[in-house]
Amino acid sequence: MSLKLYATLGSPPVRSTLLTIAALGLKDKVKLIPVDLFNFDHLKPEFVAKNPLHTVPVLEDGNFTLWDSHAINSYLVNKYATDDALYPKDIQKRALVDSMAHFDTGYLFGKGVRIIKAVFTTDKSVNMDELKADVRESYDILEVILNKRKFVAGDSMTIADFNIVATLSTTEVCVPMEKEYPSIDAWYAKMRQLPYYSINAKGVEMFRTVFSKLISQL
Ligand SMILES: N[C@@H](CCC(=O)N[C@@H](CS)C(=O)NCC(=O)O)C(=O)O
């Protein structure tokens, strides 16, 4: 096994993959290659050759290269897990996991990252109130989903929970929740109890430090 992950801990998608790696017990088998977004490592030709989207995370498994945390996480479970709990083989259960991956990409992370990009590039042209309202709408949607399920894609924890917890804990830094979300809170408490949750918590604190400094300059 020769696994490499191109990563930076501040990134929510990277953290979802690190949570997946921890859950699978692969931590000691994956070599982390740091990608410094502030140094524009991700725009260097050698990185763009691996991932034309120039995003982290990127996984290399031998000669196989894969980008996008959702694809990486499902690949890791498919290839290395001893059971299918984190990405069920049952077609309908798996479809629910996939639907939450798309919710992350299109809504929660998709909306939140627009704020993050604006702050990190000191782009003053965006309408921050509109962007924040979009993220808050995603919180409302997530509350409705979690009102009916114990975990984001059903009654047991899957890789979708790793994506959503990594994203939500980050968007919360940029867009604090303004009302009560009892179902999100109950789910969040379960996720925080994971023995390896500190991987995410550490990255969120790194993100908070940088974000707070930059937002004060915007
Ligand atoms: N859908 C992708 C999103 C990855 C993503 O946008 N990563 C950000 C860091 S949080 C990034 O690398 N941005 C650099 C860029 O867009 O050039 C995934 O889940 O991996």
What domains, with CATH codes, occur in the chain? 3-80 (3.40.30.10), 91-216 (1.20.1050.10)
202 residue type, one letter: K
CA distance linking residue 72 with residue 60, whole number of Å:
10
Residue from 6, 9, 11 whose mutation best tests the ligand 1 pocket (most atoms within 8 A of CB): 11
Q: Whose CA is nearest to atom 4 of ligand 1?
A: 55
CA distance linking residue 100 with residue 96, whole number of Å:
6
Triad 205, 48, 79: Cα angle to 5°:
70
Catalytic site residue from 11, 16, 138, 169: 11
Q: Whose CA is nearest to atom 5 of ligand 1?
A: 55
Mean pLDDT of 56-70: 98
Residue-wise pLDDT for 80-123, tens only, equals 999 999 999 999 999 999 999 999 999 999 999 999 999 999 89
Please give the pLDDT value at position 216.
Answer: 82
* Residue 93 burial (10 A CB sphere; 0-12, 13-18, 19+): middle
Q: Which of 167, 143, 142, 159 is nearest to 194 (CA)?
A: 159
Residue 1 has pLDDT above 80, yes or no: no
pLDDT band for 144, please (50, 70, 90 cuts): very high
Helix (H) or strand (E) holding 32: strand 30-34
CA distance linking residue 6 with residue 22, whole number of Å:
16
Please give the pLDDT value at position 116.
Answer: 95
CA distance linking residue 85 with residue 103, whole number of Å:
20
